[in-house]
Every structure is written in C-alpha cells, then in structure tokens.
A and B are shown apart, each in its own frame.
Chain A
C-alpha cells in the first residue's frame, strides 16, 4: 500500500514537473526561438508604413510608434475599444475576439488590435484621426456643478500643451485609484471649442457607484493633475448646407455645445434647432448661454422640453418627450441632417421618430461607440 502511494506521488510529481518544463519552453519559444524579425505594418493603403520588430500585439506595437488606438482594458481583450480593420497578415480571429465582433464587422475584417499578434507583414486600416491622438498630462483648473448630477470640468493641458480636434470628438480620461478601486479609462466628449487648444472641457453625469464618475465627483479636486488621451471619434458636423437638428439631453450636450460654439466662431450660418429633453427645470443648464447663442447665430433655435415638470410651475416652455416636440416643430425632416447624443435607447427613439418624418437614416449622425 505504502509502495503504491510512493509510486503515485512520484508519477504526480513527474507529470507536474513535465507540465512546468513544457510551459517554460513555450514561453522561451514565444520570446526567442520564434524570432519574428522585422515586420512591416502598412496603414491605410501605405499612408504610413512602419518597420517594427515583430512579436508583440498590434495594439502595443502601434502604441510604441505613438499611434494610440482606444483601449479601456489594457489589452486584456475585454473592452472591445481597440477595433481596427486588418486587411491581411493578422491570422485567424481568436476565440477571445469572437463575441465582440458583429457579422458585419467580421465581413469587414475588423479585429481587436490587442489580440492580433504581429508575426509577419500586416496591412491595416484605422481612422485617420488616430494619427493625431496624443497622451496628455493636464491640471484640473475648474470643477463646477451644472445640475444636481452633472459637473463641468475644465482641464489645462500641461504636456503637450495643445490639442487639435474637431468639435464632436472625445477624449479618454484616466481615473486614479481610490478606496481600493483600480485606475480606469473612460471616454468623455469634449465640450470645449477646438480653438481653445490649451484646454479641454467635459460635461459629466454621475453614474451611481460608477468607478470613474465617483472618482470625478467625490475625489478629484481642482489643482490635481489628470491623464488623458485623444482626440477620438468620428462624430462631427458634415460639410454641407443642410439645416441641422441637434437632439441631446443631460451630459449628451457636451459635443453639441462644442459644435454650436464652433459654428459661432467660424461664422457658419446654417439653420439649426437644438432640442434638449429633460425631466424638470432642475435638469436644465446653460440656458442663458444658449439664449445668447440664439442672438449670435442668425438661424439658431434652442428648444428645451420637460416631461415631468409639475403642471403648476412657472415653466412656460415645451412639455413632453423630446421626440414628440421635434415632430411638432419639424413635421417634415426630409431636408435635414440630425446630430444625436445620448444613450442607445434615446438614439433609437430619435431614429424612429426622424425616419418616420422623412429623414434618410444616413443623414442621422451619432457616436456609434457609445
């Protein structure tokens, strides 16, 4: 019996040892035996060609070359922010990527760049904007409440000192550790005007128990340094003359606020309506500033609508859900372009309302990421 136990122990030990040896060999093989040597990354049909040392993930190799693809999980394959199109050389889609890729994305060869290993020459497509993405260190110079659950942050850029972006784009803000919670990265639309290159402004709504918003609301103080990267995103005003419908409530005002002030600065005189949906008067902000914009932009109208304002209050503006109010003001939207910002529920409701009044779906713009 004793001999049997000894034999079992020896066999188990032998197997465990072999397992360890094999894992070590695999790691060594990955690092040295499989020498991938120099590889070429062709970006956007040779718009940029990088000569790199193969072996790492596409995401990390691009970052080393100062091309920053959005990422919120540090390359662990769980945030799906890091999508790029890999035209060839990317190898098969891994099981980690599969759940994050829609059928359409698969057809277009979309991949998670953190899961694609650069082992040979590879050609990829990324939005041109990514070439100008930079990492920034900034200082929070103002933090002020706009409503009971929305704050505005103003950040001065310290290093580098300037950001070049188009109104509508967003940055990724890095929170700091607090109360045992990890540092995280979250996206926020810039509400500042692009001409104010030394600053970034954000309009942020508190998410109950949210990691980043709790840090912003309860821990981040004026004078503290913050890390961010950007600009990202393809949500921007199209260069046409079509009249515009902006629809956004709450913190969704951020990119619209940037676009409107940019229009004023650039003297863009397109006809525009901004429909802002809220529950009660306590959810409204920037009312005076928007009324001032109405005076400065020749054909701009701001229409807030409240769906839960008490009947007997002093509110004389529109009441009801925002999609109904849009229909009331613009019964035929066929000649318009729409710019939406909000949750997917709000976006879906707006798309339904706008297409039912004649707007072609391709004239409706919003941040698909959100």
Chain B
C-alpha cells in the first residue's frame, strides 16, 4: 500500500534524531498510527482508561525522583530507581516543549516485568496515546502497567 505523506512524516519524526539516538519506534514494523490504534484498543479491552495508566506512571516517577537515586518501594515487590541526567530533550511532536532527561526503572519482582519511564514518555502517552514502538528502550506495554501497579477495576 502506498503511504500517504502524513504517515511518512510521522514516521520520520519518530525515527532516530539528534535528541533520541534510537528514536521512538524501535524495531516495530508497524506504522505509528497502527501502534497507537492497537494500544488504544488494548486499553479499551482492559476496562481501564489511559488516564488511570498514566496516573500510576506519574506517581511512580515522582516518588523515584524525590528519592534522589535511592530505590523506592512503590508496592510490595515493585521498586523504582531514578537515574538522573541534567539537560532536556524536546518532544518529537513539535510544539510540545522540552522534558527533563533521565529515566526511572520500575521492576516488579513478582511478574519479572520491567518498564522504563521518562517525563517525555509519559507526555507521549498522555497527549498522543503513543506508548512507542516495540523494541524501543522506552516502549511501555499497556498491560504491563496494569500488572505492575496491580490496577483493580
């Protein structure tokens, strides 16, 4: 199928750049619109809302950042560690502004699942429903958020 220019543009925007070495799509063969649509569908099926998922991420990010690099227990068996970096990264979506670099690694020892949360990553989910492509270091599977944070309906 021939790609329409808009799709090409978004794919270029989310590729490797001077700010994100590996970009936002990882090794995912899907176009960004499909990634967004499929994740939206997964969340709908789960019975949770995107807002519920991002709230958990934001809360964990804040707790870890406040701990200044000390591991913090988010829930029994769930630890979050902030790896700080000075400097800011612009969103690949022009106009969304700059986000603090650094990352919070969240590990759930019960399920063995690990996610890497960044301020930019949360913004991409909140504003563009974009959880990033599979294979990206910063991709977060929506189901993983539900499992790690033990979200209940």
A residues lining the B interface (CB < 8 Å): 72-74, 77-80, 95-96, 98-100, 180-182, 184, 186-187, 205, 207-211, 214, 249-252, 277, 279, 307-308, 321-322, 342-346, 349, 367, 370
Contact = CB atoms under 8 A, between A and B. Distances in A.
A214 B95 contact: no
Contacts of A349: 66, 68
Interface of B: 16-19, 21-22, 65-66, 68-71, 82-88, 90, 94-98, 100-103, 137
Nearest to B103: A208
A208 B98 CA distance: 19
Nearest to A73: B18
Contacts of A210: 21, 85, 101
B103 A214 contact: no
B100 A321 contact: no
Contact of A211 (B18, B68, B83, B96): B18
Contacts of A346: 68, 84
Contacts, number: 90
A361 to B, nearest CB: 19
Nearest to B83: A208
- Secondary structure at the A interface, as helix, strand, loop or mixed, is loop
A343 B103 CA distance: 12
A322 B70 contact: no
B16 A180 contact: yes
A99 B97 contact: yes
A205 B97 contact: no
Given A211-B19, A343-B65, A349-B66, 9 more contacts: A73-B19, A100-B98, A182-B17, A184-B18, A210-B21, A210-B85, A279-B70, A343-B102, A345-B84
B66 A186 contact: no
Contact of B18 (A95, A182, A208, A322): A182
B67 to A, nearest CB: 8
A208 to B, nearest CB: 7
8 contacts: A73-B19, A79-B19, A184-B18, A208-B103, A210-B101, A250-B84, A308-B70, A346-B68
Contacts of B137: 208-209
A186 B68 contact: no
Which of B17, B82, B85, B97: most chain A Cβ within 10 A? Answer: B85
B98 to A, nearest CB: 6
Contact of A79 (B16, B70, B90, B94): B90
Contacts of A367: 86
A180 B18 CA distance: 11
List the 8 shortest-distance A-B pairs measured between CB atoms, nearest first. A343-B84, A370-B86, A345-B65, A211-B21, A99-B97, A78-B90, A207-B85, A99-B95
A343 B17 CA distance: 23
Contact of A78 (B71, B94, B100): B94
Contact of B95 (A98, A307, A342): A98
A367 to B, nearest CB: 8
A95 B88 CA distance: 20
Contact of B87 (A73, A100, A370): A370
A209 B94 CA distance: 23
A98 B94 CA distance: 11
A308 B90 CA distance: 33
A80 B90 contact: yes
B100 A344 contact: yes
Nearest to B138: A209
Contacts of B19: 73, 78-79, 184, 211
B68 A322 contact: yes
A100 B96 CA distance: 8
Contacts of B82: 345
Contacts of A279: 69-70
A208 B83 CA distance: 9
Contacts of B90: 73, 78-80
A207 B94 CA distance: 24
